[in-house]
A and B are shown apart, each in its own frame.
Chain A
Amino acid sequence: MAPVSEVLSSKGLALKKRRRKMTRAEKREARWGLFFLTPWIIGFLAFYFLPMIASFVFSLYEFNPAVPDQARFIGFDNWQRALMVDKEVRLSFIRTLHFAAISLPIGLSFALFIAILMNSKHVLGKNVYRTLFYMPTMIPLVATVLIWNGVLNEQTGWINIFIERLTGIQATGTQGIRWLANPQLVYYAYTMFGLWAVGNAMIIFLAGLQGVPTELYEAAEIDGAGWLRKLRNITLPLITPVIFYQLVLGVIGSLQYFLAPFVLNQGTGFPEGKTRFYMVYFYKQSFSFFNMGYGATLAWLMFIFALLLTVVLFGTAKYWVYYASEER
């Protein structure tokens, strides 16, 4: 295996830097440490570092794995195609961001709302509810999507039947609310499935809420602050680091959103291409058409998008994220 030699050379490099200063015992310790890190170093090189570089090299080729001999070096043609010619790249990226702009705020607010409820001293029997709120997170996502596909069915789904019974508006049938077929509604429908996986976000928010010092609330109560004020001026500012953490992971996760559209429409983008998200388009190019050179280009572009978005988010952090340690 090639990576082994890579490991040895990188180990050599790392040691060379400080060779003068290291005593024999230190060297021994470092060697043992590297021994334990070996699985990760091999894994990093074999499954992250080298493939990333190879992916970039692939992006300069026209390449189909069925006929690898016919691979053709085409320079930056794939990149030009992705950035200038192929409108679907831009469209699918915008769709992904559009969906994220709907699903992330709703999903995070819902998780925070549940966490605040589960943290309130006024809610009795919290442990039971907390377990039940977490439970759907354990259901395999494919099953979640299929269950919700039924609930949102325009004819027989309960959501439309409830709406019809409650409001009298005709919600079922072809004239009714077509959650998954109406381009205006489909992102909201997809957002609803997402709420079922609220468990982990809820737990992380709960931990954040429990970390807020109670003295602050007591002091605010003496000053006569109501719950809304306490929420706005104490709770929310103090858990901004948790919100930030969830937001970063959420944005990166959204870029790779794939399962629900694939399970529901096999990546056709139904309705009106609205669900052909970036990852779906990447899958189509790479594993349906086997345009792997172009696929590698799309993957690298996704990586660059993800990096840019993360940098932008970190850039905004200093304006709204509160870090207690900075103040001290």
Chain B
Amino acid sequence: MAAPTARVTGFTLPNRIRSGSNNIILTSLAVAVLIIFLIPMVYGIVTSLKTSSQFSKIGAPWWPASEDKITYEGKEYDIYRVPIEGELRDLALYKPGRQSSEMLDPQNLEAGPFTWEGQWRQLERAWVADPQWGNYVQAWTAISFETLLRNTVLYAVITTFGAVLSASLVAYGFARFRIPGKNILFMLMLSTVILPGAVTLIPTYFVFLRLGWVGTWLPLIVPAFFSWGTNVFLLRQFFMSIPRDLDEAAMIDGASPIRIFRSVILPMSTPALTAVALFHFFWAWNDFFGPLIYLAGNPDKYPITVGLTAFNTLYSQSTNLIQSASLISAVLPIIVFFMAQRVFMQGVVITGVEK
């Protein structure tokens, strides 16, 4: 820093210091907010590993733990935190007494019991980490997670296929063809995006009921094959960005519109198709109201969301199992999210801003 002229240092140094301190302040602010934001996640994980009895015990630590014990000469003894000469030591209570008790040092069992002067009832228990991984197994079986998972995956995969297929066809129609009244149709399609679902629900339910479809997945799957506004919108925007020269070249070669769609448009739209597929997949993974209404009373057909709700009602006292079950249901979406995060971070931008 010696070499530059006084003028240059005079300008850059204060700026750099200011910018450095801004970096520190704002980065720590972001990290602090993030930590607070994610604390419930930590709570969920920690709680899911506790024993059910830990919740009601006074003085229990925040992490999954159980009271420490040792076995001495074939019998179990509880370990307490005993103040001796100004420091806390973990000692086992061998023979409790009113004014003095006999203690064992777990580090030095050969020495045998010794007398400690004091009231053992005022001592605190020593806790040892004891994560209950078995809670996950228990939650998995109690909620019959295999069935729920199979149902959810099937539902999500089938509707994603239908949604992407139909939305890409319709988006192609909107993006490439001159159709009389197309703008009105397009506005109509966009307006369905903000139409509250309840308005159409009751007649639709009634028709599905008369068809005998209530209690099956058909009312949830079939509509997905008739294209939804948001997906169409996203894909149309993308298709419009594909240069028309490509279709025109194919058209001159005598390719039909279906052929152009299959061999030109679709292969060039992989990013947009992936985004729509992922969004729809997780929309279906999250779907609650539809399955709740159409699958009521058919627990073997429930997806995870509805199954988890039913589980919560039945096991409302087992906080730890509810947390395990909730986390199990979140594992797959989170893994996929981390693998495909770019799609999520960009795909929404396409849907969101243009509207």
- A contact residues vs B (CB 8 Å cutoff): 14-15, 17-18, 22, 26, 29-30, 32-44, 46-48, 50-52, 54-55, 58, 65, 68, 114, 117-118, 120, 122-126, 129-136, 138-144, 146-151, 153, 155-158, 161, 195-196, 199-200, 203-204, 206-208, 211, 242, 245, 248-249, 252, 255-256, 258-259, 262-263, 266, 279, 282, 286-287, 292, 295-296, 298-300, 302-303, 306, 310
Contacts and interface: CB of A to CB of B under 8 A. Distances in A.
Interface stretch (B2-10, B119-127, B223-231): B223-231
Contacts of B47: 150
B44 A150 contact: yes
Contacts of A37: 170, 173-174, 179, 185
Interface string B195-221: 111111111111001100000000000
B178 A29 contact: yes
Given A122-B23, A279-B198, 14 more contacts: A44-B188, A44-B192, A58-B202, A68-B210, A132-B34, A135-B337, A139-B329, A139-B330, A139-B334, A195-B37, A203-B344, A203-B349, A204-B353, A303-B198
A48 B348 CA distance: 25
A14 B179 CA distance: 9
A283 B341 CA distance: 35
Given A140-B330, A248-B194, A36 B172 contact: yes
Given A140-B330, A161-B62, A32 B349 contact: no
B40 interface: yes
A147 B327 CA distance: 8
B43 A117 contact: no
A142 B305 contact: yes
B88 interface: no
A143 B308 contact: yes
Nearest to B336: A138
B267 to A, nearest CB: 17
Contacts of B353: 204, 207-208, 211, 242, 245
Nearest to B313: A266
Given A156-B55, A259-B288, A306-B194, A44 B189 contact: yes
A117 B329 contact: no
- Which 5 pairs of residues, A with B, have the shortest CB-CB distance? A43-B226, A33-B177, A36-B173, A54-B203, A51-B200
A146 B202 contact: no
B206 A65 contact: yes
Nearest to B21: A122
Contacts of A208: 353
Contacts of A149: 322
Nearest to B203: A54
A67 to B, nearest CB: 12
B352 A292 contact: no
19 contacts: A17-B181, A36-B172, A36-B261, A39-B166, A40-B227, A44-B192, A47-B204, A120-B26, A131-B341, A133-B37, A140-B330, A143-B308, A147-B327, A150-B323, A156-B319, A207-B349, A266-B313, A299-B196, A302-B198
Contacts of B79: none
Contacts of A287: 293, 296
B109 interface: no
B31 interface: yes
B334 A122 contact: no
B118 interface: no
A150 B40 CA distance: 9
A324 to B, nearest CB: 13
A155 B257 CA distance: 65
Interface in B152-198: 166, 169-170, 172-174, 176-182, 185, 188-189, 192, 194-198
B199 A138 contact: no
Given A55-B200, A208-B353, A258 B192 contact: no
B355 interface: yes
B173 A259 contact: no
Given A33-B173, A117-B33, A138-B334, A55 B203 contact: yes
A68 B210 CA distance: 10
A148 to B, nearest CB: 6
Nearest to B210: A68
B223 A151 contact: no
Find the residue from B202, B327, B355 having the highest chain A CB count within 10 A: B202
A222 B304 CA distance: 56
B282 interface: yes
A16 B37 CA distance: 59
B189 A122 contact: no
Contacts of B177: 29-30, 32-33, 36
A54 B26 CA distance: 56
Contact of B180 (A18, A124, A132, A135): A18
B280 to A, nearest CB: 14
A183 B337 CA distance: 36
A135 B325 CA distance: 18
A37 B167 CA distance: 9
Nearest to A251: B194
Given A30-B180, A47-B204, A65-B209, A150 B43 contact: yes
B312 interface: yes
Contact of A132 (B38, B209, B282, B304): B38
A282 B40 contact: no
Contacts of A151: 39-40, 43-44
Given A48-B195, A141-B305, A147-B323, A286 B201 contact: yes
Find the residue from A129, A156, A195 having the highest chain B CB count within 10 A: A156
